[in-house]
Amino acid sequence: MDSCNCIEPQWPPDDLLMKYQYISDFFIALAYFSIPLELIYFVKKSAVFPYRWVLVQFGAFIVLCGATHLINLWTFTMHSRTVAMVMATAKVFTAAVSCITALMLVHIIPDLLSVKTRELFLKNKAAELDREMGLIRTQEETGRHVRMLTHEIRSTLDRHTILKTTLVELGRTLALEECALWMPTRTGLELQLSYTLRQQNPVGYTVPIHLPVINQVFSSSHAVKISPNCPVASIHPSGKYTPGEVVAVRVPLLHLSNFQINDWPELSTKRYALMVLMLPLDSARHWHVHELELVEVVADQVAVALSHAAILEESMRARDLLMEQNVALDLARREAETAVRARNDFLAVMNHEMRTPMHAIIALSSLLQETELTPEQRLMVETILKSSNLLSTLINDVLDLSRLEDGSLQLDLGTFNLCAVFKEVLNLIKPIASVKKLHVSLNLAPDLPEYAVGDEKRLMQTILNVVGNAVKFSKDGSISITAFVAKAELLRDSQTTEFFPVPGDNHFYLRVQVKDSGIGVSPQDIPKLFTKFAQTQSTAIRNSGGGGLGLAICKRFVNLMEGHIWIESEGLGKGCTAIFMVKLGIPERLNESELAFMPKVPPNHGPTAFPGLKVLVMDENGVSRKVTKGLLVHLGCDVTMVSSSEECLRVVSNEHKVVFMDACAPGMDGYEIAVCIHEKFTKRHERPIIVALTGNTDKVTKENCMRVGMDGVILKPVSLDKMRSVLSDLLEHRVLFEAI
Amino acid sequence: MDLVQLQRQLVDYRTSLYHEGFLDEQFTQLQELQDENNPDFVVEVVSLYFEDSERLLNELSKALEQQIIDFKRIDAHVHQLKGSSSSIGAQRVQKLCIVFRNYCEAQNVEGCLKCLQQVKHEYSIVKTKLESMFQLERQILNAGGSVPV
Task: Report the chain B residue with the minimal C-alpha distance to residue A668.
Answer: B76
- Residue A489's pLDDT band, with cuts at 50, 70 and 90, is low
Q: Is the Cα dihedral A448, A451, A452, A456 positive or negative?
A: positive
B80/A621 CB distance under 8 A: yes
B19/A370 CB distance under 8 A: no
Q: How far are the Cα atoms of A128, A137, A145, A288, A616 from residue A141, in angstroms, in the given order?
A: 20, 6, 6, 14, 120
Amino acid at A399: L
End-to-end CA distance of chain A: 190
Per the CB < 8 A criterion, the answer to whether B46 and B130 are in contact is yes
- Residue A124's pLDDT band, with cuts at 50, 70 and 90, is very high
- Residue A594's pLDDT band, with cuts at 50, 70 and 90, is very low
Q: What is the pLDDT of residue A133?
A: 92
The strand order across the sheet containing A246-252 reads A206-208, A190-196, A178-184, A272-278, A246-252, A224-226
Which residues on A lie below 8 Å from B41 (Cβ)? 630
Higher pLDDT, A27 or A704: A27
Q: pTM of the predicted model, to two decimals?
A: 0.35
pLDDT in tens, A151-163: 877 777 777 888 8
Share of chain A above pLDDT 90, in %: 5
pLDDT in tens, A340-368: 888 777 777 777 777 788 888 888 888 88
What phi and psi values does residue A662 have, to the nearest 5 degrees?
A: -80, 110
Q: What is the pLDDT of residue A409?
A: 65
What phi and psi values does residue A229 have, to the nearest 5 degrees?
A: -95, -5
Per the CB < 8 A criterion, the answer to whether A75 and A7 are in contact is yes
Among candidates B38, B45, B149 on the partner chain, residue whose Cβ is nearest the Cβ of A367: B149
Q: What is the pLDDT of residue A26?
A: 87
- Distance between CA atoms of residues A82 and A450, nearest Å: 186
* Count of beta carbons in the 10 Å neighbourhood of residue A646: 9
Q: What is the rounded average pLDDT of the residues A671-697?
A: 75
Q: Largest Cα–Cα distance in chain A?
A: 220
B26/A717 CB distance under 8 A: yes
| Structure letter (DSSP) for residue A260 | -
Q: What is the pLDDT of residue B54?
A: 92
* Average pLDDT value for chain A: 77
End-to-end CA distance of chain B: 20
For an interface test with B, the pick among A362, A369, A624, A625 (most B C-beta atoms closer than 10 Å) comes out as: A624
Distance from CA of A409 to the nearest CA of B (A): 26
ipTM metric: 0.80
What are the residue ranges in chain B where pLDDT is below 50? none
Which residues on A lie below 8 Å from B76 (Cβ)? 666-667
Q: How far are the Cα atoms of A7, A27, A31, B68 from residue A35, in angstroms, in the given order?
A: 31, 12, 6, 150
CA atoms within 13 A on the CB side of A37: 7
Among candidates B18, B25, B87 on the partner chain, residue whose Cβ is nearest the Cβ of A627: B87
- Distance between CA atoms of residues A587 and A450, nearest Å: 10
Considering only CA atoms, give the Rg of chain A. Answer: 65
Q: In sequence order, what DSSP letters do the residues of B26-45 get, joined into one string?
A: HHHHHHHH-SSSSTTHHHHH
pLDDT in tens, A501-521: 566 678 888 899 999 888 877
Which residues on A lie below 8 Å from B15 (Cβ)? 360
* Count of beta carbons in the 10 Å neighbourhood of residue A195: 21
Which residues on B lie below 8 Å from A367 (Cβ)? 28, 31-32, 149
Per the CB < 8 A criterion, the answer to whether A218 and A266 are in contact is no
Question: Who's near A267: CB < 8 A, 6+ residues apart?
Answer: A221, A252
Numbered residues of chain A with Cβ closer than 8 Å to any chain B Cβ: 356, 359-360, 362-364, 366-367, 370-371, 607, 620-624, 626-628, 630-631, 633-634, 662, 665-667, 695, 716-720
- Residue A329's pLDDT band, with cuts at 50, 70 and 90, is very high
Per the CB < 8 A criterion, the answer to whether A422 and A441 are in contact is no
Amino acid at A163: L
Distance from CA of A610 to the nearest CA of B (A): 15
Pairing, β A224-226 against β A438-444: unpaired
Burial class (CB within 10 angstroms; exposed 0-12, middle 13-18, buried 19+) of A272: buried
Amino acid at A509: Y
Calculate the CA dihedral of residues A679, A685, A686, A687 and round it to 10 degrees: 50
Strands of A486-518 (E only): list them: 507-516
- Distance between CA atoms of residues A584 and A136, nearest Å: 101
Determine which of A30-34, A185-189, A731-735 has the lowest per-residue pLDDT on average. A731-735
Distance from CA of B114 to the nearest CA of A (A): 23
Q: What is the rounded average pLDDT of the residues A536-552?
A: 52
Q: How far are the Cα atoms of A484, A488, A499, A511, A533 from residue A580, in angstroms, in the given order?
A: 11, 15, 12, 6, 21
Task: Report the chain A residue with the minimal C-alpha distance to residue B36.
Answer: A634
Q: What is the rounded average pLDDT of the residues A542-558?
A: 64
Question: Who's near A669: CB < 8 A, 6+ residues apart?
Answer: A645
In degrees, rounded to 5, the angle at the alpha carbon of residue A532 between the alpha carbons of residues A531 and A534 is 75
Q: What is the pLDDT of residue B50?
A: 92
Closest CA to A518 of A475, A568, A548, A466: A475
Determine which of A41-50, A373-382, A408-417, A713-722 has the lowest per-residue pLDDT on average. A41-50
Q: Is the Cα dihedral A471, A474, A477, A483 positive or negative?
A: negative
The SS3 assignment for B68 reads coil
- Distance between CA atoms of residues A238 and A72, nearest Å: 83
- Distance between CA atoms of residues B130 and B43, nearest Å: 9
Per the CB < 8 A criterion, the answer to whether A518 and A470 are in contact is yes
What phi and psi values does residue A197 have, to the nearest 5 degrees?
A: -85, -50
- Residue A382's pLDDT band, with cuts at 50, 70 and 90, is confident
CA A377 to chain centre: 67
Q: What is the pLDDT of residue A595?
A: 45
